[in-house]
Amino acid sequence: MMTGTEYIESLRQLKTEIYAFGEKITNFVDHPLFRPHVNAAAVTYDMAHEPEFEDLITVKSHLTGKKISRFTHIHQSREDLVKKIKMLRLIAQRTGTCFQRCVGFDGLNALYTTTYEMDQALGTNYHAHFVKFLKYVQENDLMSAGSMTDPKGDRGLRPSQQADPDMYVCVVKRTDEGIVIRGAKAHQTGIINSHYMIIMPTVALGEADLDYAVACAVPVDAPGVFHIFGRQTNDERRLEGEIDTGNARYAVVGGEALTVLEDVFVPWDKVFMCGENQYAGMLVERFACYHRQNYGACKCGVSDIIIGATTAVAEYNGVARASHIKDKITEMVHLSETLYCCSIACSAEGGKTPSGAYFVNPLLANVLKQNVTRHIYEICRLAHDIAGGFIATLPSEKDFNDAKTGPYLEKYFRGVSDVPTEYRVRMARLVENMTGGTALAESMHGAGSPQAQRVMIIRQSNMEHKKRLAKKLAGIPEQD
């Protein structure tokens, strides 16, 4: 397994083509816009070497018997599913942000189970291809980006009905050596500092959409691949200083990009679906459920820091002992731990798939993510309520350092007398950056929009069983 330093050095060996702020980026590893995301992912590598976390962050590969990172592992038990949740919360507590390896982790697990069942039913050889690739990922401790979301174009039309066929990634050529794909993947968390992207369909597909039923592994620096980095709340502050960013070392979101694929060649041994449209829906649902499982873990780890920062600001403001402040902080803890309960529940209630790998309880995973779209917003609202309006109106770090304005800011932004003004400002900036803009949007739309979860919840609800229970108690015959 790599260390964080070795991971960072491995990125330097890539030829990843990246654009941001109208420029081509030549050294993204050391660029202040990207380095926080690199640092956050590096934590997942370093913590794997810390003995106290060995049981959570490392595991024995069921394929090779070797010790590997859990981020490259295929879940072999309910215990694995639960340990995943505990690991994600732990790392989020260390970074205070998205550490980006979850999406690829979930893509690997979804493809493992789906390719197995596809091969069993259709006689294809995709599972063997995938296992070969998975061993390579485990052996080299690679970071994969889960590339599912397509731009989609007109959401009212199927992929094959789009005016522009590139709105969904599709196969444009098949040869004896492999396939050629074209299109784009949107909102790609961690793609800039990954080694591979795991291409998957984003919706269930019909017979007319065969060319869009494609899953494969593509290096992030493959010919024809380039990335356009997305804007994030307060991102320019990274170019100006430290304090105003709130979380200077790791940033506060995952570093997303639009990834363009212009006629990218993929050899057959890295193709895991090509035209098997009847299995696209299974792959999408399994990935979505694995990924929704995560949100009560990483979001709770981040919430632990938000709650701690909010409590500290209340202390610096001199109001921490007020009963209404204590009550609001208690509510923040309650909301956060409720999400964690859902993550543990959908993991503990998971089950074995035909491949032998384990899958979460899909109903509970979707209930969890639906709660995230509400509870995180309320946690952030309460943080704003408690911290006060100055988190939105603080002058810049440069003004605090200015000879003329600095002394006045030092004087008038002081809270309780025994806490330096700088500490109050630093904590306020952390609250501001962790509770606004991009971070909240990701809580809402990451792992699918709220409506996608509601569709899954009603589909998994077993409504006929519920009706039978009610009819039996009401004395209504079964046939009626």
In three-state secondary structure terms, 151 is: coil
At residue 437, the pLDDT reads 64
Total number of residues shown for the chain: 480
Predicted TM-score (pTM) of the model is: 0.91
* Banded pLDDT at 178 (limits 50, 70, 90): very high
* 358, containing H or E segment: strand 358-359
Q: Which of 291, 340, 342, 432 is catalytic?
A: 291
- Given the DSSP bridges, would you call strands 67-69 and 178-185 parallel, antiparallel or unpaired? unpaired
How many Cβ atoms from other residues are within 10 Å of residue 5's Cβ? 11
Sequence-ordered list of residues with C-beta below 8 angstroms from that of 98, at least 6 positions apart, any chain: 40, 189, 190, 253, 254, 255, 298, 442
CA distance 192 to 255: 8
Active site residue 170: no
Fold match, 4-279 / 291-474: no
Query: Nearest-CA neighbor of 442 among 395, 372, 385, 390?
Result: 372
Say if residue 446's pLDDT is above 90: no
List, as one string, the DSSP characters of 402-459.
Answer: STTTHHHHHHHT--STTS-HHHHHHHHHHHHHHSSTHHHHHHHHTTS-HHHHHHHHHH
Q: Which amino acid is at 268?
A: W
Using DSSP's 3-state secondary structure scheme, residue 79 falls into: helix
The CATH code of domain 4-279 reads 2.40.110.10
Q: Is 9 a catalytic residue?
A: no
pLDDT higher than threshold 90 for residue 469: no
Q: Distance between CA 413 and CA 400 in Å, rounded? A: 10
The residue ranges of every structural domain in the chain are 4-279, 291-474
d(CA 246, CA 252): 8
Confidence (pLDDT) at 9: 98
Look up the CATH superfamily of 291-474.
Butyryl-CoA Dehydrogenase, subunit A, domain 3 (1.20.140.10)
What is the pLDDT of the chain when averaged over all its residues? 94
C-alpha distances in Å from residue 154, one per residue of 167, 176, 334: 9, 34, 40
- Residue partners of 398: CB distance under 8 A and separation at least 6: 240, 241
CB 447 within 8 A of CB 289: no
| Count of Cβ atoms closer than 10 Å to residue 282 Cβ | 16
Q: Residue 214 corresponds to which tokens in the numbers above?
A: 């494609």
49 counts as catalytic: no
Structure tokens at 272: 């895991």
Stretch 261-267: mean pLDDT: 98
Answer yes or no: is 189 a known binding residue: yes
Question: Hey, what amino acid is at 165?
Answer: P
Of 7, 16, 102, 227, the active-site residue reads 102
| Least confident window among 203-212, 317-326, 456-465 | 456-465
- Residue 343's φ and ψ, nearest 5 degrees, are -65, -45
Residue of 216, 274, 298, 342 marked catalytic: 298
Residue with tokens 């309460």: 382
- b/e map of 173-205 (b: 16 or more CB within 10 Å)? eeeeebbbbbbbbbbbbbbbbbbbbbbbbbbbb
Could you say which of 45, 116, 196, 295 is catalytic?
295
Whole-number Å distance between alpha carbons of 2 and 8? 10
> What are the tens digits of pLDDT across the range 353-390?
999 999 999 999 999 999 998 999 999 999 999 999 99
Q: Which two tokens stand for residue 434?
A: 């962790």
Q: Does residue 98 have an active-site annotation? A: yes
Known active-site residue 380: no
Give the helix/strand (H/E) hosting 59: strand 58-60
pLDDT of residue 463: 84
Active-site annotation holds for 289: no
What was the pLDDT predicted at 480?
56
Tens-digit pLDDT profile for residues 88-144:
999 999 999 999 999 999 999 999 999 999 999 999 999 999 999 999 999 999 999
Query: In the annotation, is 256 catalytic?
Result: yes
Q: In angstroms, rounded to a whole number, what is the distance separating the alpha carbons of residues 41 and 57?
A: 13
442 is a catalytic site residue: yes
For residue 442, the model assigns a pLDDT of 65
| 406 residue type, one letter | G
- Among 74-83, 130-139, 234-243, 306-315, which stretch is predicted with the lowest mean pLDDT? 234-243
- Confidence at 444, pLDDT banded by 50, 70, 90: low
Q: Could you give the percent of the chain with pLDDT greater than 90? A: 86
If you ran DSSP here, which 8-state letter would residue 222 be given?
A: -
DSSP state string for 288-311 = HHHHHHTHHHHHHHHHHHHHHHHH
pLDDT of 457 reads 78
List the single range of 393-397, 414-418, 454-458 with lowest mean pLDDT: 454-458
Choose, from 37, 113, 187, 256, the residue flagged as catalytic: 256
The active-site residue, picked from 44, 115, 189, 373, is: 189
Element (H, E) at 73: none
DSSP three-state, residue 324:
helix
CA dist 416 and 370 (Å) reads 40
The vertex-3 CA angle with 251 and 110, nearest 5°, equals 75
